[in-house]
Chains A and B, each alone.
Chain A
Amino acid sequence: MTLYADLQVTRGTFELDIDLTIAPGEVVALLGPNGAGKTTALRAIAGLLPLNAGRISLDDDRWDEPPKTFRTPDRRPIGVVFQDYLLFDHLSCLENVAFGLRARGIDKHLARTEAARWLETVGLAEYGRRRPRSLSGGQAQRVALARALATSPDVLLLDEPLAALDASTTLHVRAELGQHLQRFTGRTLLVTHDPLDAMVLADRLVIIEAGRIVQDGAPAEIARRPRTEYVAQLVGLNLYRGTATGTRVALSDGGTITLAEPADGPVHVAFPPIAVSLYPEPPSGSPRNTWPATVTGIEQHAHTVRLTLDAAPSGPSTLLADITPAALADLHPTPGQLLHATLKATEVTSYPT
């Protein structure tokens, strides 16, 4: 049973129009910048927002098909983990997890036993009597997950499940969430703006910008071959569009890049910032790409320093380069300074647009 969602929602001037399919056992991450329509898509599938057109169905079972069919959220086999979890504070953790079972008419004693089992599964067996207010962020997230899974939903929807956590707990909670998602046999849609969450947790990424899908594929594929500026930024690559003639690519924004393998026609060209080397003087060796470049920005990352350079007119007008602290000490780059950037042709990936 595959979840099929042709989502068309109009809200004011914003228009969401995307197609999603999620197979049993599959985890699909919907990734995009703020305002891209990720949460709108999730709310539509949950039934919290009716479609304007399109269809949502689980095989032949129609959930929403305007203008005739609309099933309210309580009549869809779903589980939702909300961004700030929305645990009911007047109920204990156990009662929170049992809520969905009770709502489906399951006997109180049985519901509590089942809820206790779920709390144990997420490692919070002894927290049953506690109020959600007294839990840490990571614990609250696990209770929310247990609550969503307790009803054995066919479709699990996660709205930024890690966004409310602080950095120190995210790593641990993410790993745990991954294990639960792996065990879950239904279909999972994970909405996130964090590429790391998406890459680690999902089998497939669907990237949307301004209400449209811009790229769709396995995490490894997307990490290697981004197709939009936004995706390239997410995965940390330099990305340019251009026209290839043999090993020479004329970039559409000006400048040229030399490839190791010949290509032909419109292509994307991508390479990691770490592949760019910088020198104060024109280098004497023979890397295939050498551009004079002006420093436009300097940014400290964890173990590297990222420079933004302008290599126009011979190279790309926005070029990211990561250098080591040692190289930084040698170069002493300041904004406006002229350096020489080199890039080995073998580091450059090209693929048709």
Chain B
Amino acid sequence: MSRRSRSTTGRLPLVLLLPALLGLAFLLVPLIGLLAKAPWSTLPSRLFSAEVWTALRLSLVCATVATLICLLLGIPLAWLLARGNLPGRGLLRALVTVPLVLPPVVGGVALLLVLGRRGLIGQHLDAWFGISLPFTTAGVIVAEAFVAMPFLVISVEGALRAADPRFEEAAATLGASRWLTFRRVTLPSIAPGVVAGAVLCWARALGEFGATITFAGNFPGRTTTMPLAVYLALETDPDVAVVLSIVLLLVSVVVLASLRERWLSGLR
């Protein structure tokens, strides 16, 4: 009798196991380092400083509003891509995902060219309504939504494609209009996909840096979100940068963990 493990597939091959452990370490060690280098003794006092709270509040508000905008526009867009019988749907889908691969700084520049005070649309916004987006909190939200929306669209579109359209047919035979069917049948059935997409979208918005600093600049209290504050602090007071980073890390982990149990389990 051999004394090997009773697993039916045998032992994990070393050639897979080693890189796997290396990969795990690569992902975790920087986070551990962050915690190790934290100035724990002065942490409470730094944590409750006005700057941190201002930046954190701004970050949370902007990421949340950006996510709401993404939900409002992104779900219908995902529906159009998944269910609409459009010509050139494939091309459209590719275009929607461009911000996903675009360097955020480029996105910021593009936003500036279109929505800036002299921009394509921005000049009219300024002239007719007196609205100027760049270098404002609204600008932060626009930049975050621009970068984060593809995450939501892709997630929701995937859920829509996986959902059985025959349930929508059943609703139609029961007298439900397409809008009612969408609200009462389609949306509930893709809820896990929507929530997962919203979480990804929110996390992306929370961490957004490049497009934000390009389009909205860096004005404490107005446009300095947490990532910007971290970058700024790194040049002046590295300890503050570490504290801010830990706060961001904590917020992300808490949100992910709290949603995982209730919603993301539906995705498995």
Contact A103 B173 (CB under 8 A): no
Contact B167 A73 (CB under 8 A): no
- Give the Cβ gap from B35 to chain A, nearest Cβ, in Å: 41
Q: Is A88 in the interface zone, CB < 8 Å from B? A: yes
Q: Which of A46, A74, A90 has the most CB of B within 10 A?
A: A74
Q: Is B138 in the interface zone, CB < 8 Å from A? A: no
Which of B164, B172, B184, B188 sits near A73, CB closer than 8 Å?
A: B172
Contact A88 B169 (CB under 8 A): no
A230 to B35, CA, bound (A): 77
A23 to B185, CA, bound (A): 33
Residue-wise interface mask of B (150-190) relative to A, using a CB-CB cutoff of 8 A (1 in contact, 0 not): 00000000000000101101111111110010001100110
Residues of B within 8 A of A80 (CB): 170, 173
Residues of A within 8 A of B173 (CB): 46-48, 73-74, 76, 78-80, 148, 157
Contact B171 A82 (CB under 8 A): no
Contact B166 A104 (CB under 8 A): no
The chain B residue with its CB closest to the CB of A73 is B172
Residues of A within 8 A of B166 (CB): 82, 86
A82 to B180, CA, bound (A): 20
Residues of A within 8 A of B167 (CB): 86, 88
A103 to B184, CA, bound (A): 10
Residues of B within 8 A of A157 (CB): 173
Q: Is A219 in the interface zone, CB < 8 Å from B? A: no
Is the interface on chain B under 10, 10 to 19, 20 to 34, or 35 or more residues? 10 to 19
Contact B170 A151 (CB under 8 A): no
Which of B174, B185, B188, B191 sits near A100, CB closer than 8 Å?
A: B174
User: Quick one: which of A58-114 are within 8 Å of B by CB?
Assistant: 72-76, 78-80, 82, 86, 88-91, 99-100, 103-104
Contact B172 A90 (CB under 8 A): no
The chain A residue with its CB closest to the CB of B180 is A103
Residues of B within 8 A of A73 (CB): 169, 172-173
Residues of A within 8 A of B177 (CB): 74, 103
Contact A103:B189 (CB < 8 A) given known A74-B176, A82-B166 = no
Contact A48 B169 (CB under 8 A): yes
Which of B169, B175, B188, B191 sits near A103, CB closer than 8 Å?
A: B175
- Give the Cβ gap from A88 to chain B, nearest Cβ, in Å: 6
Contact A74:B170 (CB < 8 A) given known A88-B185, A90-B189 = no
Q: Is A147 in the interface zone, CB < 8 Å from B? A: yes
Contact B176 A103 (CB under 8 A): yes
A76 to B174, CA, bound (A): 9
User: Quick one: which of A23-77 are within 8 Å of B by CB?
Assistant: 46-48, 72-76
User: Quick one: which of B170-216 are within 8 Å of A by CB?
Assistant: 170-177, 180, 184-185, 188-189, 191
A residues contacting B by CB (< 8 A) are 46-48, 72-76, 78-80, 82, 86, 88-91, 99-100, 103-104, 147-148, 151, 157
- Other than the given A73-B173, A86-B170, 13 more pairs (CB < 8 A) read A46-B173, A48-B169, A74-B172, A74-B176, A78-B173, A80-B173, A88-B167, A88-B170, A99-B184, A100-B175, A103-B171, A103-B176, A104-B175
20 residue pairs of the A-B complex, CB under 8 angstroms, read A46-B173, A47-B172, A72-B172, A73-B172, A74-B173, A74-B176, A75-B175, A76-B173, A79-B173, A80-B170, A86-B170, A88-B188, A90-B189, A99-B176, A100-B175, A103-B171, A103-B174, A103-B180, A148-B173, A157-B173
